[in-house]
Amino acid sequence: MILAKLAAATLTFGVAMGPGAEAPVRHLSFQQKNAATQVYVRPVTDCIASSVVSDGRFRKEDPAANLGDLIVDAVPKCLGPVHAMIAAYDRYFGDGTGEEFFMGPYLDVLPSALVKMMKTTAE
């Protein structure tokens, strides 16, 4: 559901980056690359969370309700941080890994991460 609706936005970024993107940083360990890219993940999550919470359809009493649709609608508002995260993954792990991360593991855990964040801030 979320993947299909977000594919067009991220594919546009891949074309825009083209061959001018930096080469991967090969001399770093996996842990170092992972730590370096995590700096880019938090702003994406924060931006999407902020957009979701400010959406009139968001229900504070049931944050999981309509969350998929709210995330889909929030992503275009957060393209700057999303593009930076994808570019960082491509730089550290190789071409195409940023989009794979965003469309796979990131979006897989995003709904539960957002619900957890919203419950924590509500307390």
Q: Using CA atoms of 2, 70, 38, 123 in order, give the dihedral in degrees to the nearest 10.
A: -140
Residue 21 forms part of a structural domain: no
**Structural domain total, the chain:** 1
d(CA 82, CA 113): 16
pTM value is 0.78
Residue 13 forms part of a structural domain: no
Residue 23 forms part of a structural domain: no
Residue 72 forms part of a structural domain: yes
Its domain, for residue 117, covers 2-7+30-122
Residue 53 forms part of a structural domain: yes
Asked if 71 and 111 touch (Cβ cutoff 8 Å), the reply is: yes
User: Along the 123 residues of the chain, how does pLDDT read in single tens digits?
Assistant: 554 555 444 444 444 444 444 555 778 999 999 999 999 999 999 999 999 999 999 988 888 999 999 999 999 999 999 999 999 999 999 999 999 999 999 999 999 999 998 888 766
Neighbours of 49 (CB within 10 A): 19
